[in-house]
Amino acid sequence: MTNPADDSEISVETFDVGSYAPAQVRPSIQDRQETARLWIAAGLLLLLAILMLATFWALLFGNRDWESLRDPVTNLLGLLVGLVGTVVGFYFGAKSK
C-alpha cells in the first residue's frame, strides 16, 4: 500500500487560500443604527457627567462660589438633562421594540 502523500505533492504556490476564506459580512442597517444610538446616548451621558464633575470641582477646589456658578450651571444642566432624557428614552424605547 502506498502513501497518498508520496503520489502527489501539494505545493504552496498552487494552493489558492483566497477561495476558502470566509466572505466579509457587512453589518445591517439596524446594527449600524443601534451603534449610532449607543454612541449618541453614551456621549451625552458623558457630557452630563463632565458638567457635574466640573461644577463640583469648581466649587470645592476653585475660587468660585455658588452664586457665580448658579446661572451657567442651571442653564447647561437643564439643557443637557432634557437632551439626555430624550435620547436615552428614544434609545431604550427603540431597543425594546
Asked, for residue 76, whether it belongs to a domain, the answer is yes
**Residue 67 domain-assigned?**
yes
**Residues whose CB is less than 8 angstroms from the CB of residue 52 and which lie 6 or more positions away in sequence, other chains included:** 77
pTM: 0.61
Question: For residue 11, is it within any domain?
Answer: no
Distance CA 80, CA 74 (A): 10
Indicate whether 69 belongs to any domain.
yes
Distance of CA 4 to the CA centre of its chain: 53
Question: Domain containing 62: what range?
Answer: 29-96
Instruction: With a cut of 70, say whether residue 32 has pLDDT above it.
Output: yes
Number of folded domains that form the chain: 1
Asked if residue 83 is part of any domain, the answer here is: yes
pLDDT band at 25 (very low <50, low <70, confident <90, very high): confident
pLDDT one-digit tens code per residue, 52-95: 898 888 888 887 788 888 888 889 888 888 988 888 788 777 76
